[in-house]
Structure 1
């Protein structure tokens, strides 16, 4: 039995050389707490998730809108790790990305593929080291991570912050403990006998995963994705519409501080309170975004039916496609709708006149058009509230 108020996060263990690493306490156990604030935050987070699930069930073709949530998560989660790709760039083709930004773009694309594949795998695989490794392999399949053992737990010591082990901010457990600790984490996630609420369970598991740091690279992105995968796997979240990276990125320092306080001061309660506030805020924002999307969709469908006459059917098909992929070329529209180049170009120009599409390159040739109002609902700009 572990009581949250007296929880001991682990111990510093001396390595035979010159550094000490942190060995976390196993978590697969019964958990208890007496803090009523935690219960209130748990209740609020559960209510907000329930509202998101209910709203998602009411949205026709909900899968149409999931992909941009996934893209936003990939952009933000990768940005936390230092990439510079913007949302609009993530939706472009590789040849349209300037060479100096292409590596960042590939990392984001890898993460999008990793998320989509992991969600699909949940239909046949439980949350497990196997699934986590498969996802990690896709994430690090090229560019900067290709020499960091993609799909494999680390076999050497890593560290966080600093130039070496000698000045590191944090040194995770020695590699000899990784398999054992990850096995404990996996058992904890699937232990139905300990009666720990799912949101508390994944909050503890996320902290533990980040502390174990089982990979040489990509731990942050995989650890944040693990939250969504677990909630979908346990049917707490009906659709993969909730990602916490936007909440964590609002104040990266606070996110890292909350994790560090657990290790330094054994204060898992503060981390869980912060985590549950993040769940509630993120679920509320996701619900608001879905509501705004539906209003936009309804308004534009009325506009198309009133102004496009005989071309309303093609215009509506283009609109539906734009919700799936809000960045297009004339040739893509030509292919999607089976139109001549001129007809596709005319249709796009009419969408521009209606302020539905906006040309984003400023070029005469190879023009790229963006469904601007829709994309702004997922804005990452610092002066706008993340959604």
Structure 2
């Protein structure tokens, strides 16, 4: 049950701080490092021990309560706006969800300095792009899809499934996909000789399973304000850092699963990571303050990110809807049973296409798809981008421009 503290400073949300335990470290491959570095990295270090939060009940002041309630309402209104714009029966709603999910994946990846363009990501989705970052972000797309698909469960198996989708497409780390780490990880020490002098040392790997079970129990509780629950579960997950790679992206996928589970977003994917991306420094600082015993900063950061996502997400939906409407006008006079009309809504979620993709997605014959692409090209809705006579690729430049403008808007505020 949420209560209001009469004693805590304004905005302070007390949470059990992390503890530490002392261990010894000796560089595992001393021949790879200088004698001075070996000496610096030999000795004791303190790794984090996360407290249990399954039974934690937040004490929130009135301002924080109002803040999270307003932000949660903004998310629900954005979700309903998306449904209103496209309608439950509109075939463009599923592609709209797809492009919002892809936008969220790209922003989440950018927090980890994995940057790609809307075009490169769309190309990677149809096996036409070869850019490493784009292929890595596709893994994040699959992880988010798994998060939403498994959102009713919120269990350890679901978290591992998200991570499997994420890392199974990341070259060189496929063997780590879907498994908790079995080694120590740390942040803030560029030299891999050891963890000493690192800014953050994650818990020992043997502590991970119980710590994740504790998060799952907390995430399932019905008596905590939803956005507070999402923010704290995410901060706890990042503190556990359960994977060798991909903990941040999986933690943000978990946040999306919780938003869906708590019914803050039921029809579309909220671009929450875009809201975090606009000020990464305060996001990371809030995680540090959470570990010190104050959940207030991460709760406020998530509330701010939710409002940003709702406002900018609404604009993105409207701009994409406008592009779709303009394309419909361009198709005026084409028979309603033409395959071009079936292709059109797909372009919202996949603005770069080839015949192979459309044949698989729509179940049409090769010849029917080719005729549809000819119509869409003649009406200047699609542009063929390769200039080849075979293995051609078409793009909807208006939709790509909308997506690029959204990404640029986020980058301008970083």
| TM-score, length of structure 2 as denominator length | 0.80
Deviation digits for residues 269-297 of structure 1 (CA, Å, limit 9, x no counterpart): 12211111111211222223223333333
Residue 324 (1) aligns with residue 349 (2):
yes
* Contact 1:323–1:374, Cα closer than 8 Å, also in 2: yes
User: 1:215-364 alignment to 2 at 5 Å?
Assistant: 215-264=243-292, 266-305=293-332, 308-310=333-335, 313-329=338-354, 338=365, 339=367, 343-344=371-372, 346-352=374-380, 356-361=381-386
Tell whether 2:207 aligns with 1:180. Answer: no
- What residue ranges of structure 2 are gaps of 5+ in the alignment? 6-11, 26-43
Contact 1:21–1:173 at 8 Å: present in 2 too? yes
Please, what is the CA RMSD of the aligned residues?
2.9
Equivalent in 32, 35, 56 of residue 82 of structure 2 = 56
- Other-structure match for 2:234: 206
Task: Give 1:5 shift.
Answer: 4.1
| Aligned twin of 2:34 | none
* Matched residue, 2:51: 25
Distance 1:280 1:362, change over 3 A: same
2:136 — aligned with what?
A: 107
Contact kept in structure 1, 2:228 and 2:299, CA below 8 Å: yes
Question: Cα distance, 1:365 vs. partner?
Answer: 6.1
CA shift, 1:267, in A, is 2.6
Q: Are the structure 2 counterparts of residues 35 and 203 from structure 1 closer, same or farther at C-alpha, using a change threshold of 3 Å?
A: same
The number of equivalent residue pairs is 374
Asked if 2 retains the 8 angstrom alpha-carbon contact of 1:329 and 1:368, the reply is: yes
Structure 2 distance, partners of 1:324, 1:383, is: 19
Among 11, 15, 24, which residue is 2:19 paired with?
11
Distance 1:285 1:213, change over 3 A: same
Structure 2 vs 1, CA of residues 280 and 350 (structure 1 numbering), >3 Å: closer, same or farther?
A: same
Give the conservation status (yes or no) of the 8 Å contact 1:157–1:174.
yes
* Deviation (angstroms), 1:382: 6.0
Using the alignment, how far apart are the partners of 2:263 and 2:250 within structure 1? 20
Does the CA-based 8 Å contact 2:150-2:257 persist in structure 1? Answer: no
Q: Unpaired segments of 5 or more residues in structure 1?
A: none
Aligned equivalents of 1:284, 1:345: Cα separation in 2: 34
